[in-house]
Amino acid sequence: MLPLAVVISGRGSNMEAIARTALAAGSPFKIVRVIADRESAGGLARATSLGIPVSVVPVRKFADRASFDAALAAELDASGARLVALAGFMRILSAEFVQRFEGRLLNIHPSLLPKYKGLDTHARALAAGDSHHGASVHFVTAELDGGPVIMQGRLRIGPGDTPDAVSARVHTLEHIIYPHVCTLIAQGRIEWRDGSVYFDGAPLASPLIEETDAAA
């Protein structure tokens, strides 16, 4: 079974969705550790209640990004994880950290990348009048929200929507696609090869899509 660590800053609903998949019979991966960058992360209690070991690398105790990143890397190495899923982790990682975990580091971002990198993605999609929005699971590279996308969850949005309503629907999709990607990687069906994504042995030309017609 592929050992996976999940790194969070907040409530950890994606972590929980990944954990529930990991705990189901026949899962090809298991969660060996949930790590938060702050004691207040709500996901820590969720993880503990699921029997998953947790640890905190408190960001406020580190003088700079390099020392925090080194401590996080050491914690991940100690956990034995071979795949790392960032799930609502609200810090930018250094190029050195990303390089060290190249091909083993995933993130989920609440937009149809390459659209809307960064924050406030739901409001930006609505303000632009987009007909579709969603979430993307991607390998992490040194470019923020810029690594190769593996899978996207797409849904319709409309003029009657609010950022909060869209956020709730996007979260529902996130909880499907993130565990799905972890499973595909653990099965060896998704692979990172020299900066590109391969699916079933062939280059992935465009992201895998999970679509819902859930309208506004």
132: nearest Cα among 200, 203, 59, 209: 209
Tokens 């900066």 belong to which residue?
A: 195
109 catalytically annotated: yes
Min CB(200)–ligand GRF separation in Å = 26
Can you give the binding site for ligand GRF, defined by CB under 6 A? 8, 10-14, 87-88, 108-110, 135, 171, 174
119: nearest Cα among 90, 147, 97, 98: 90
Min CB(163)–ligand GRF separation in Å = 12
Which CB atom, from 117 or from 193, has the smaller least distance to ligand GRF? 117
Strands (E), the chain: 2-8, 29-36, 54-56, 83-86, 105-109, 132-139, 149-156, 190-193, 196-199, 202-203, 208-211
Min CB(203)–ligand GRF separation in Å = 25
CA angle, residues 13, 175, 30, in degrees to nearest 5: 80
How many other CB atoms sit within 10 Å of the CB of residue 12? 24
Query: Is residue 6 within 8 Å of residue 35, measured between CB atoms?
Result: yes
Which CB atom, from 57 or from 108, has the smaller least distance to ligand GRF? 108
Does the N-terminal peptide bond of residue 114 adopt cis geometry, omega within 30 degrees of 0?
yes
Q: Closest residue (Cβ) to ligand GRF?
A: 88
The one catalytic residue among 109, 122, 133, 138:
109
Which CB atom, from 79 or from 107, has the smaller least distance to ligand GRF? 107
Which CB atom, from 66 or from 168, has the smaller least distance to ligand GRF? 168
CA atoms within 13 A on the CB side of 186: 24
Min CB(39)–ligand GRF separation in Å = 15
Which CB atom, from 11 or from 70, has the smaller least distance to ligand GRF? 11
Min CB(19)–ligand GRF separation in Å = 11
- Catalytic positions: 109
